[in-house]
Amino acid sequence: MSAATLTAPAAKPGADEGRIGLRANLRHITALARRNALQIKQDPESMFDVLLMPIIFILLFVYVFGGAIAGKGHQQEYVQHLVPGMMAMMGMNIAMAVGTGVNEDFRKGVMDRFRTMPIARSSVLIAKIVVEIGRMLIATTILLAMGFLLGLEIRGSALEFVTAILLSTAFGAALMWIFILLGLSVQTPQAVQGMAMLVLMPLQFGSSIFTPTDKMPGWLQSFTEVNPLSQLADAARALINGQGGVAHPALITLGWAVAITAVTMPLAVRKFRSKT
């Protein structure tokens, strides 16, 4: 993509958001999102995590752990528990790829080109978020398709089903700002992945995603109660299974999403400006 595609006539290289109008900003985000999408088209292997991760994880947990957790012959009920929880996990794993991608763009010199363009610095990061949300929705679609094949039933209304997807997407988008900030703060993509896994593993397995928490030790149950992934998994599970008590975990999940975005988005944009 040429620099001319993103050029605003009245702007200067390195201009900030305050000097660029909303319409120009949206045009820059659209052009950069298109660039990122074309990169995926040229490198289809970058979609392997999105296409294969949901299939591998759901088969692994249903057939390896499902019988032990739910009891032999009760895998179908475990699918009802697992799939809504894994919707929360998809967002976190996709978010990790955003931080890695930002770090790689700096190492490859891509950001040096953006530095000379008259675009808002935040548009570069927001465009990445937009494309990764698309990847997240593809992963969620594959996860749900596998769930249906394994017996998943939508016991709630169509509106509740869509709400569960939107809630998971909103929380995943908020997490992306954390990993963008991490990608801007460390030196290598390997460091991003290593530090991300230190966060991902306790949050994922110390939650209600894979198993009910009532059989966990008391200290671990206390952790799961404040774990935002547990709140998201419980909300999505209640919506898909048509259960009550959705308001509390849903509101806590949205609160976490807003708080994470409000704190980490300005920090990430400031860090990006200082590096470019």
The burial class, CB within 10 Å (0-12 / 13-18 / 19+), for 182 is buried
pLDDT value, residue 191? 87
Give the pLDDT band of residue 2 (cuts 50, 70, 90).
Answer: very low
pLDDT value, residue 173? 93
DSSP E strands in 97-253: the ranges are none
pLDDT tens by residue, 171-224: 999 999 999 999 888 888 888 888 888 888 888 888 989 888 887 888 888 999
Give the pLDDT band of residue 230 (cuts 50, 70, 90).
Answer: very high
Reduce the DSSP state of residue 15 to 3 states and report it: coil
DSSP category for residue 63:
I
Residue 8 or residue 137, greater confidence: 137
pLDDT tens by residue, 51-94: 888 999 899 888 887 777 766 666 778 899 999 999 888 888 88
- What are the angstrom distances between the C-alpha of 196 and each of 35, 95, 175, 186, 193? 26, 10, 11, 11, 5
- What are the angstrom distances between the C-alpha of 270 and each of 33, 130, 180, 192, 212? 20, 19, 12, 19, 40
pLDDT at 112 over 90: no
pTM, entire model: 0.84
Of the candidate ranges 14-18, 46-50, 59-63, 245-249, the one whose mean pLDDT is the lowest? 14-18
pLDDT tens by residue, 144-177: 999 999 989 999 899 999 999 999 999 999 999 9
- Distance CA(24)–CA(207), nearest Å, equals 42
- Distance CA(256)–CA(268), nearest Å, equals 17
Give the pLDDT band of residue 19 (cuts 50, 70, 90).
Answer: low
Q: Please name the amino acid found at residue 62.
A: V
Residue 3 or residue 48, greater confidence: 48
Closest CA to 178 of 263, 252, 108: 263
Closest CA to 204 of 77, 66, 88, 65: 88
pLDDT value, residue 73? 63
pLDDT value, residue 141? 94
pLDDT value, residue 72? 66
